[in-house]
Structure 1
Amino acid sequence: MDTPGFRAMLLEISNKLSVENVASLKFLCTEYIGKKRLEKIDKGFELFECLMERAAIGADNTDLLRKLLNDIGQTALLEILQDYETGSRSPDDGLEEKHREDINIATEVIVEHLGKKWRQLGRKLGLQQTQLEGIQEKHSRDLEEQVRELIRVWMKIQRENARVKELIQALRDCKQNLTADLVEKKLREP
């Protein structure tokens, strides 16, 4: 993820925060930033800058930001964060076309058969709880889109190392053997 894109996303979030939101965020950030420095902060982007200096948030580390926005009840702003995370994945992410195609085929089968066990699969794939919550919040009424988003986030994390065999193994680890078998069968089709 590029730092300018990350900073642009932070600025967009900052511009949508009210004075009360910034005060709440400051209250939640006392363990990361000293009280004296917090007193001088009155804008969201200033707070984000301090968190970046302390490596609490970063272009590849958005979990704390997600948690903070969730804690102050600004779930609408989580969509900006989610768009940044998923929009950063481009066809130029280093993933070979064959692997991308296999993952796309597997995604369709998984979306069709996985259902409510998608969170368990997400944990097996190494996603954090805040990422899973963000996915559920973004697509709260659409189970299929939650599964698609789960795989998109996993691909973003894995980048060029994303392989369909990892998806299949994670399905088997979740006792979703039928779905894993269906993915393998679909991949074998000409």
Structure 2
Amino acid sequence: MDPLQVLLLQISSKLNDSDLSSLKFLCMNNVGKRKMDGVKSATDLFSLLKERMEISHGNLDYLVELLLSIKRDDLAKDVKNFNLTNPALSVPVAESVALDETFLVICENVGKEWKMLIRRLGVSDVMMDRIVDAHRSNMKEQLFQSLRTWKNNMGDRATVPALLEALLSCKLKLVHDKVVEHLNLVQI
């Protein structure tokens, strides 16, 4: 059994109708009103959030933030403990921060060539199409969500060097250099 699914099931059983209503309200911008109307339980909501890559083995921060927002600190603590007891499912903090910084630089500097980069990283066209459909009018968000998808799919193999190599193979040397420069400034 998937430990994350078990955790989400446990959390959903501890949420009352008022909690679910609050969570649905908080997630409205990420999921959309039409899909939110079909959500009848916390497990439905968690499934939608997993589809949209808001919740994954390597990224439970959004779930913690949601639970803290509805004053369910007890459940947020359970999620944090899950991350601590399942270290194989999460990326080391320093690498995760470096990846997030790299994502920001890439999103600011890659334009129409973003799909070529994401394909090079191994994200399928189907997944990219889903991301594009979810964020129709925001190319930077499409790129960011695609990078998050890559990170979630690759797990601990999602590294800054892998991203830098992909940038070079896509002939995006200027972006590569900006990422290296930014990471060097962050480390100083």
Asked if 1:90 corresponds to 2:86, the answer is: no
Number of residue-to-residue matches in the alignment: 124
Q: Name the structure 1 match of 2:69.
A: none
Task: Select the residue among 97, 110, 115 that pairs with 2:111.
Answer: 115
Inter-CA distance 3–84: structure 2 relative to 1 (3 Å threshold): farther
TM-score (norm 2): 0.58
Q: What do you get for the CA RMSD once the two structures are aligned?
A: 2.8
Q: Hey, which bits of structure 1, 4+ residues long, moved more than 4 A?
A: 3-6, 81-84
Task: Select the residue among 120, 129, 133 that pairs with 2:129.
Answer: 133
CA distance in 2, matches of 1:3, 1:94: 15
Equivalent pair of 1:125/1:154 in contact (CA under 8 Å) = yes
1:160 is displaced (CA, Å) by 2.0
Equivalent pair of 2:105/2:178 in contact (CA under 8 Å) = yes
CA distance in 2, matches of 1:110, 1:152: 12
CA distance in 2, matches of 1:152, 1:182: 20
Using the aligned pairs only, state the percent identity: 24
Task: Select the residue among 80, 97, 102 that pairs with 2:48.
Answer: 80
Inter-CA distance 124–170: structure 2 relative to 1 (3 Å threshold): same
1:108 is displaced (CA, Å) by 1.0
- CA deviations on 1:39-63 (whole Å, 9 max, x unpaired) are xxxxxxxxxxxxxxxxxxxxxxxxx
Task: Point out where structure 1 has 5 or more consecutive residues left out of the alignment.
Answer: 17-78
Kindly indicate which of the two structures has a greater share of residues assigned to helix: 2
TM-score (norm 1): 0.57
